[in-house]
Structures are given as C-alpha cells and as structure tokens.
Amino acid sequence: MNVLYIVGKLNFGGVEKWLLEICKRNKKNKIFLWSNCDENYIGKLENEFLNQNCTLIKENISKNLFINFLQMRKICKEYKIDVVHMHQHNFNGVLTFSAYLCLIKKRIVHFHSMKKNRNGFFYKIYEKIMLWLANNFSTHRIAVSDNVGKTQLKNYIVMPCGFTLAPLDHNKRIECMSKKIIQVGRFVSEKNYFFTIDLMNYIVKIDPDYKLYIVGDGNLRKEIENKIEIHNLKNNVEILGFCNNVNEILEKFNGLMVFPSLSEGLGLVSLEAQMNGCFCICSQNIPKEVNIGGAFFVEDYSYEKWFMAIKSCYKSISKININIEKFDIEDNLNFLEEIYTYERING
C-alpha cells in the first residue's frame, strides 16, 4: 500500500521524530513524504528519512484551493497513492478536500496541537472553514490527546504519539540532584522561551547557582539570544541547538525540565524526560495525560510559583506510577496499520 504523509520541514520537531520512528518500523507500506518546503531546502532529519527508503517530495503546499488540488492530483497519480495521512493542523482541511476530489479512499487528518489563540475575525472564519473541511471530507480523524480532539474534531480517535519503550527502564527513579534546568523544543512563540529567560533572570538573582540549557533552534533564535544578553545571563543560560540525541542528554542530565508552553497537543518530550529520570514542571496548557509520576503543573506564569515548583523538586525522588504502554510506538504502528488496511471509518 502506498501511503503519503504530508508534513512540514523535516527538522527536529516532535511530529517529525515520531514519524521517523514509524517509518523505521514500517514493513508493509511504501512511504512517500510530501514536505512543505522549497526544493533546495534540506531538513535536519531529511537523510534519516531517506535512509528508511522513504520517497521525499519537496514542494511548497499551495494555499490556493485549485492549485492545491492540482498538486495533490499530480502526486497521487504519479505515485499511485492509496492513503493520504495529513499533519498540517488547520490546513488539513484544504488537503483532505483535495484528496477527496482525487478519489483517495483513505483520508486521515492528524491533529497534534490545540487551537491557536488568535482573536482576528477573519482568522476565526478561516479556522471554522478549515475544521469543517477536515471533519466532513476525511475518513479518519486522529488527535494526540482528548483536549485536542474535543475542541476541533468530531468522531475522533485519540492516539498519543508514542516512543520506544524497550530500552528504557520502567522502574527508573525520577530525581533531581542538581540545580540544572533544561527546556527542549523549537524556537517558536508557542514554546514560550521568553518566559523561561525571564524566569531565569528572576531565579539567578536569588540563587546564581542555577543554570538553564536550551535544546532547540528556530526563527526566534536571535530574539532569544538578545534577551539572554539583555539580562546578562550568558553564564547561566546555554543554547545547545538542535540535537538528535535528546534521550541521551536527558538520561545524563540529573536536573529537571521546564515546559511552559502556551499551547501543546500532548508534549511528548515531557514523557521522555520522566522516562529518563527528570522531573518536569509544566504549564496548565500541557495535557494532564503526560504525568506519569514526575510532572508538576503550575497554575499561572508567576515567576515565584515556578521557582517554588523548581525548588520543591531539588533533591526529591519519585517513580513512574502509571501504565505507560499506551505511549508505545509499536502500538501506534499497529493502530495505523489497521486504519490503512481495513475499511473501518470513524465518521
């Protein structure tokens, strides 16, 4: 079966890393990736996908409905696509409508994040139209958490993005024995890095022994670096850039993670942090499903409350206390295979 995944740029994002793990385990299907980027753009994970024998199609996705249909028809006809699986949030609406017009029998919209908190009248109309298209022209609707699904989809299936459980110690202690803090994620506004820098500015005035490590990169890097410089935090904040060995970093970190996102579909990295022995301090925008024994939720963005939560973890010990099998990547693969192969429709 020929499966077309429609994704963004193939960099170190949560969706891209999850999809790479799916491709590594794929034994039944021929995988095609339509990456929303210029032909000359090279994503950080591009070669890893190519090493899994995936066919990569690099083309900017047109926002014009007619041109988008022509793009979809050309790709589906050339590669004899059977299933279109879309990961483009709101724009899943246009994509699934184009796939419908191309007579693709399996059209899966996959939502990984919450609604964007934008107030503009025209944006709200756009969002309503996109969600209507996604709900009415897809055959399957998948949400990474119930919060994501109930605010955007109808007759949806919840499937948390999983990760590899096999090499991880399910009985590993969650502990924090150093004054080290880490944040992982792309440099985009939703990840709320500016709050983290301001929080560090507050913390080091009280206890200068704390240090923040940032794993990620993106369009806001210059602004983040400027904020670090303005607060004179160069000795307390280090940007590590994109890393493809986040699990190894977390396993050896012996500190804690902060996760102050303004919007998050699931927050897979917080699960990885706990599985590797790190506490995770989360905003209320993170789904509660991520708490497997070492997550704490702060009710607002008060620096004092966040620092109190951080201090409460220092020299503390916990253990994973719930069943984490639902986050197994193998379960994800089996579930998707069932959708791709059988005629069951969830709408």
Q: What is the pLDDT of residues 154-189, one digit of tens each?
A: 999 999 998 887 666 656 788 888 999 999 999 999
What is the rounded CA–CA span in Å between residue 321 and residue 313?
A: 17
Residue 222 or residue 265, greater confidence: 222
Selection from 157, 192, 213 nearest residue 263 by Cα:
192
Domain layout of the chain by residue ranges = 2-162+328-341, 170-316
Selection from 141, 125, 145, 132 nearest residue 14 by Cα:
145
Residue listed under structure tokens 């964007």: 116
Residue range 170-316, CATH number = 3.40.50.2000
Query: Around Cβ 61, how many Cβ atoms within 10 Å?
Result: 19
Long-range contacts made by residues 336-341, C-beta under 8 angstroms, separation at least 24?
Answer: 336/22, 336/85, 337/28, 337/29, 339/106, 339/108, 339/140, 340/1, 340/3, 340/29, 340/82, 340/83, 340/106, 341/1, 341/28
Q: Is the pLDDT of residue 346 over 80?
A: no
Query: Token pair of 263, please?
Result: 């919007």
Residue at 228: amino acid letter = I
The pLDDT of residue 267: 86
> What's 128's DSSP letter?
H
Instruction: Round the average pLDDT of the chain to a whole number and report it.
Output: 92
The pLDDT of residue 49: 97
286, 208 contact by CB (below 8 A): no
User: How open is the CA angle 16-195-270, to the nearest 5 degrees?
Assistant: 40
Query: Token pair of 251, please?
Result: 């396993």
Residue range 2-162+328-341, CATH number = 3.40.50.2000
Selection from 146, 145, 141 nearest residue 131 by Cα:
141
Q: What is the pLDDT of residues 94-152, one digit of tens each?
A: 999 999 999 999 999 999 988 776 778 898 999 999 999 999 999 999 999 998 999 99
Q: What is the dihedral of CA 237, 242, 248, 250, to 10 degrees?
A: 40
Q: Is the pLDDT of residue 42 over 90?
A: yes
Mean pLDDT, range 71-96, rounded to an integer: 97
Kindly calculate the radius of gyration of the chain based on its CA atoms and give it in whole angstroms.
Answer: 21
Q: What is the pLDDT of residues 188-232, one digit of tens each?
A: 999 999 999 999 999 999 999 999 999 999 999 999 999 999 999
The number of CA neighbours under 13 Å toward the Cβ of 160 is 22
Q: Give the predicted TM-score (pTM) of the model.
A: 0.84
Most confident option among 13-17, 33-37, 269-273: 33-37
- DSSP string for 264-307: -S--HHHHHHHHTT-EEEEETTS-GGG-SSSEEEESS--HHHHH
Residue 344 — pLDDT band, cuts 50, 70, 90?
low
- DSSP string for 9-44: --SS-HHHHHHHHHHHH--S-EEEEEESS-TT---T
Q: 3-state DSSP helix/strand/coil percent for the chain, to nearest 5? A: 40, 20, 40
Residue 245 or residue 60, greater confidence: 60
94, 63 contact by CB (below 8 A): yes
Whether 2-162+328-341 shares its CATH topology with 170-316 is answered: yes
Residue listed under structure tokens 């996109």: 130
What is the rounded CA–CA span in Å between residue 65 and residue 143?
A: 25
What is the rounded CA–CA span in Å between residue 268 and residue 72?
A: 30
Q: Cα 237 from chain centroid?
A: 24
What is the rounded CA–CA span in Å between residue 82 and residue 212?
A: 46
Mean pLDDT, range 1-23, rounded to an integer: 93
3-state secondary structure of 145: coil
Q: What is the pLDDT of residues 288-306, one digit of tens each?
A: 888 988 999 999 999 999 9
Sign, CA torsion 111/342/98/75: positive
Q: What is the pLDDT of residues 233-263, one digit of tens each?
A: 999 999 999 887 888 898 888 899 999 999 8
Residue listed under structure tokens 């295979």: 337
